[in-house]
Structure 1
């Protein structure tokens, strides 16, 4: 993130209805800041990668790619992963607010909020971002990542978050800004695996962690990682690991008790 406070902080506004933000944009224009606009999520993504702004104001409901999908991609791209994102939207349902915050945004503000309050929130997050950037300067910031790699990372994170109730392949693809055929191709090219094989592997890896780290019974673990029954989980686990879940847990606990 290029958060250089020796120059004017750069704000990127991504919204398909800029007329709804006329008062706020006028207020931002009176600050000693640079301001850029994008009228849809895909344009916003390209401008974010190119401009590396200091903060992004992002709408949720936009045609094509929505703001949630864009936020997932921004969080996975090295060039923008540390850029604070504030959702500024009319999408005010509780589940929408929770989803926006769970994706890594720093704030979620409704458009009817007073522009001066929004300005105050922007100032706070610019200051916090500057402190974090100074404390965590890393050469990785400048490492490029292809669009496919960003989508792959976003899909892998989404899968890890939904092991219990996995979205369809079409939903996963849509939520990372692509379509089923391209997402399948990305997984094969970068991981040598189909999406479904990766999901199965992720579920079993998480099952191993829960067996070693918790006292949950096998049925509860099977439910949490998305298997229909303890029997199905046990069969798949034995095929992958070479032992039953109970035997694996026993070995893991014995290793943990060795002084």
Structure 2
């Protein structure tokens, strides 16, 4: 929290890292500046402790057992009770793709190891202050979601952000800290669709939107949405919406919008 003088007043930080050496370094650094600290040793434990402790900020490693930091972050951002907790990734996973992934799934910052103590402290303080200002504008407590709904929402968010990738059910499940059979059961119960059927539906709806709103060729739409070819996309589109992609686009351009 931030007190009236603008200084940090016993802010509660959750450190999630499977390396005891890294935990000791961070704990020593942050203890010296009077933060309240909690720790977790993998992504799943970090997510669970975040629900219980509601820390002011989370310092999250990426490569960890059970559930990595990205999986944990996806769950945190899918849960209304934890989605506003700032997540700062602090990891040796330093490739541009990994940094972009961390930021795109909701992390507020990404610091690579080995880190400078002064940089970590500066970023922690900045994001605590930003989070405090954000909380001051919020009213009421967030509604609670049951664990299966959180898993569903995390899975849906991942699917929608990866429509152009070839993904298996197990890969999707792993990226949200679960396993294939569990995720499949949740999707069937909550949406009435299998994970693959939901993914296919999202691709087709996205393709329909692109056909209506852009001049992207049907071949490019098919490629970007991971269909085998334009013919495969056209067949699936016609089965779902009752028109070929070409006929649908012509109807839209003629002002006869067709919804299905």
Which of 30, 33, 36 pairs up with 1:31? 33
Listed one character per residue, the Cα deviations across residues 82-101 of structure 1 (whole Å, up to 9, x for unaligned) are 11101111222222222212
1:238 deviates by: 1.2
After superposing on structure 2, the runs of 4+ consecutive aligned residues of structure 1 that deviate more than 6 Å are: none
1:100-139 paired onto structure 2 within 5 Å:
100-135=102-137, 137-139=138-140
Aligned residue in 1 for 2:178: 178
TM-score using structure 1 length = 0.91
1:190 deviates by: 0.3
Out of 189-198 and 95-104, give the one that drifted further: 95-104
- What SS does the corresponding residue of 2:15 show, helix, strand or coil? strand
Alignment partners' CA distance in 2, 1:83 and 1:100: 15
Contact 1:87 1:105 in 2 (8 A): yes
Aligned residue in 1 for 2:46: 44
Aligned residue in 1 for 2:242: 242
Out of 180-189 and 89-98, give the one that drifted further: 89-98
**Gap regions ≥5 residues in structure 2:** none
Aligned residue in 2 for 1:228: 228
Out of 114-123 and 7-16, give the one that drifted further: 7-16
Alignment partners' CA distance in 1, 2:253 and 2:128: 46
1:138 deviates by: 4.1
1:30 deviates by: 2.7
Aligned residue in 1 for 2:97: 95
Contact 1:159 1:166 in 2 (8 A): no
Q: How many residues align?
A: 253
Out of 71-80 and 34-43, give the one that drifted further: 34-43
Alignment partners' CA distance in 1, 2:83 and 2:36: 20
Aligned residue in 1 for 2:60: 58
1:5 deviates by: 4.9
Alignment partners' CA distance in 2, 1:159 and 1:231: 23
- What SS does the corresponding residue of 2:254 show, helix, strand or coil? helix
Aligned residue in 1 for 2:160: 160
**Gap regions ≥5 residues in structure 1:** none
Contact 1:13 1:35 in 2 (8 A): yes
Out of 142-151 and 88-97, give the one that drifted further: 88-97
1:111 deviates by: 2.9
Tell me: CA distance 1:133–1:11, structure 2 relative to 1, closer, same or farther (3 Å).
Answer: same
Alignment partners' CA distance in 1, 2:255 and 2:133: 42
Aligned residue in 1 for 2:150: 150
1:256 deviates by: 8.8
Alignment partners' CA distance in 1, 2:24 and 2:256: 60
- What SS does the corresponding residue of 2:89 show, helix, strand or coil? strand
Contact 1:23 1:115 in 2 (8 A): no
TM-score using structure 2 length = 0.91
Alignment partners' CA distance in 2, 1:110 and 1:230: 42
**Cα-Cα RMSD:** 1.9
Alignment partners' CA distance in 2, 1:110 and 1:18: 17
